Amino acid sequence: MVKIEARLKAVSFLQEGVLIGDGRNFCVALFSLDPENFAEWAKKEGIPAEAGHPKVREVLEKHVKEVNSTLASFEWVKYFEVLPTPLTVDGGELTASLKVKRKVVSSKYAALIEAMYSRPAGVTADV
């Protein structure tokens, strides 16, 4: 899981890529943006620094497809979402050494995670 997460967060404007999939039929991912790098990237792209901008999703979809092409099919990320705010120590999502507290992130974003897992069968994956 850690190796896949390292590959997932290999986009300059990402802070973290958290893979969810233990005990599930497929994997999903949550991405958090690095505020400084994202603002710089958005400026270069000539777009507003908004997580919901279509260009952000387009770049991430392409990246996830590239990562998926190197994985076994059971490891593929089927859906992903961009978190509204970065993960922080103060928010409780990161340890003092900046490691993701997986249980906290899973709990805090449970509704978002469940929404990805609740998509009806036959709905085309985001990636």
Q: Which domain holds residue 57?
A: 2-117
pLDDT, tens digit (0-9, with 9 covering 90-100), for 56-99? 999 999 999 999 999 999 899 999 999 999 999 999 999 999 99
User: Does the pTM of the predicted model rise above 0.85?
Assistant: yes
15, β-bridge pairs: none
Dihedral sign, Cα of residue 76, residue 115, residue 24, residue 89: positive
- How many domains would you assign to the chain? 1
C-alpha atoms less than 13 angstroms from C-alpha of 49 in its C-beta half-sphere: 15
CB neighbours of residue 63 within 10 Å = 21
pLDDT, tens digit (0-9, with 9 covering 90-100), for 1-50? 788 999 999 999 999 999 999 999 999 999 999 999 999 999 999 999 99
Tell whether 123 is covered by a domain: no
Tell whether 127 is covered by a domain: no
Tell whether 92 is covered by a domain: yes
CATH of the domain at 66: 3.30.300.30
Tell whether 61 is covered by a domain: yes
